[in-house]
Amino acid sequence: SLNIVPDGAGSIQFNTLEIIESDWNGYYFPTVPIEAKAIPNEGFQFSTWLEFPDSNAAIHIQVTDPFTLTAVFMPTDLSPGTTVINEINYNSSNDHNPDDWVELINPGEIEIDISNWILKDDDNSHGYTIPDETVIQPNNYLVLAKDMDLFSSSYPDISNVIGPFDFSLSGGGDQVRIFDNAGILIDSVQYDDADPWPLEPDGNGPTLELINPEYDNTFAVSWASSMDYGSPGMQNTAYLASDVAENIIPETTSMLPAYPNPFNGAVTIPLELATPINASIIIYNLLGERITDIPINHLRPGHHTLVWQGRNQLGHSVGTGIYFVRLQTENTRSVQKLIYLK
């Protein structure tokens, strides 16, 4: 069966069919590969496949048993009812240990009632249900702490904190997700403790801070290491105002040389965007076969880095060889050669 979350946010192109409603069912031969593509409606962007969280919007699958495929979409722009994951402490230092915590921000103009919303990591069996009558006021913050006693002893002046939750965030990369009381994904961050993500938050004291709540927090470039031990319950120490960010916008859109190249494991692809674009980075092999897409929809103007982990659309590792990465927009076309060594 095929599902769309939330209803009306998009559709699923399933081979030649376009599915616009949830709970669609069909029958296919198990030996026939199927192409599925999540297509967002206006005002939404693709977030993830619930069953294939590391995949892009377009995937190829082969059905061997009855299965469910769920496309999850999220709003493209902040709205008065948006809640954003704004700061993450996933691996405390030995000399300052408040244990794990996550900070939410309400960047809108009205209060948000988040009663019975659920905090999860990348394991669906882990969950913390936010208590009744929990409200975040406009331009205010709320911290969700794993250990209330450790948090309070580390930050005695911070009162806008709730908890505890009974699972740990991984120090080797994890996912932080917030669902509303209807089970709809509100925000999700897949962080890592390796480049291009900031390295200092991994056991050295600083936290992982979103530079600006208006930025797309799914990208590593939108995050920075905090000063000292972070800023729970208040404006981030790494905050960069939008008017400051506009002063460093590149004059032209381009794809800079990828590094390292040759690479083993992962390659970083830097981008400079002069204007917002709606496009993809496409990876091809030497035969011209399309290996995978890296969507770059709705990126703000500025400097960005994307990472290809050497995997195809199904998440499988590709073989050693020569690959080509292509950026194509309405006004720009750029191609680079990549060499993958194992």
Number of helical (H) and strand (E) elements in the chain, helices listed first: 2, 26
Residues 234, 117 share a domain: yes
Which among 145-154, 269-278, 280-289 has the top mean pLDDT? 145-154
Q: How many other CB atoms are there within 10 angstroms of residue 21's CB atom?
A: 12
Give CA angle at 40 (35, 45), nearest 5°.
115
241 and 276 share one domain: no
Could you read off the pLDDT of 127-153 as tens digits, one per residue? 999 999 999 999 999 999 999 999 999
pTM above 0.75, yes or no: no
- Tell which of 193, 219, 245 closes a domain: 245
CB 131 within 8 A of CB 195: no
Pick from 188, 216, 275: which is nearest to 77 by CA? 216
If we measure between CA atoms, which residue out of 62, 76, 58, 88 comes closest to residue 9? Answer: 76
Is residue 279 located within the same domain as residue 195?
Answer: no
324 and 278 in a single domain? The answer is yes
- Stretch 216-230: mean pLDDT, rounded? 84
The residue from 75, 108, 125 where one domain ends is 75
In 128-186, which residue ranges form alpha helices assigned H by DSSP? 148-154
Residue whose entry in the numeric block shows the structure tokens 């913050």: 141
pLDDT of residue 148: 97
220/24 Cα distance (integer angstroms): 35
Domain that holds residue 283: 254-340
Average pLDDT, the chain: 83
Are 13 and 154 found together in one domain? no
Task: Determine the 3-state secondary structure of 75 from DSSP.
Answer: strand
Mean pLDDT (whole number) for 109-123: 93
3-class SS of residue 189: strand
Q: Where are the alpha helices (DSSP H) in the chain?
A: 148-154, 242-245
CA-nearest of 213, 161, 194 to 91 is 194
> How many Å apart are CA 49 and CA 188, to the nearest integer?
12
> Could you give the CA distance from residue 176 to residue 101 in angstroms, rounded to a whole number?
10
CA distance 248 to 300: 12
Indicate which CATH number applies to the domain containing 196: 2.60.40.1260
| Contacts (Cβ under 8 Å, ≥6 apart) of 103 | 85, 86, 87, 88, 141, 142, 143, 144, 232, 233
Same domain, 228 and 302: no
Task: Specify the pLDDT at position 20.
Answer: 60
Q: Which of 75, 93, 112 is the last residue of a domain?
A: 75
Place of tokens 């409606």: 41
Q: For residue 16, what are the contacts with CB-CB under 8 A and spacing of at least 6?
A: none
Answer yes or no: do 285 and 336 share one domain: yes
Measure the N-to-C terminal CA separation of the chain; round to a whole number of Å. Answer: 38
3-state SS class at 247: helix
pLDDT above 90 (res 120): yes
Residue 294 has pLDDT above 90, yes or no: no
- pLDDT single digits (tens) 44-86: 778 777 777 666 788 887 766 677 778 877 766 555 567 999 9
Half-sphere exposure of 179 (CA within 13 A, CB side): 19
Total domain count for the chain?
A: 3
- In contact, 19 and 7? CB cutoff 8 Å: no
User: Which residue pairs, CB below 8 angstroms and at least 24 apart, start in 122-128?
Assistant: 122/53, 122/170, 122/174, 122/175, 122/177, 122/190, 123/167, 126/166, 126/167, 127/167, 128/163, 128/164, 128/165, 128/166, 128/167
Q: How many CA atoms lie within 13 A of 327 on its CB side?
A: 21
Question: Pairing relation of β-strands 267-273 and 223-225?
Answer: unpaired
CATH assignment at residue 318: 2.60.40.4070
> Are both 148 and 220 inside the same structural domain?
yes
Are the C-beta atoms of residues 192 and 182 closer than 8 Å to each other?
no
Say whether pLDDT at 282 is over 50.
yes
Higher per-residue pLDDT: 326 or 239: 326
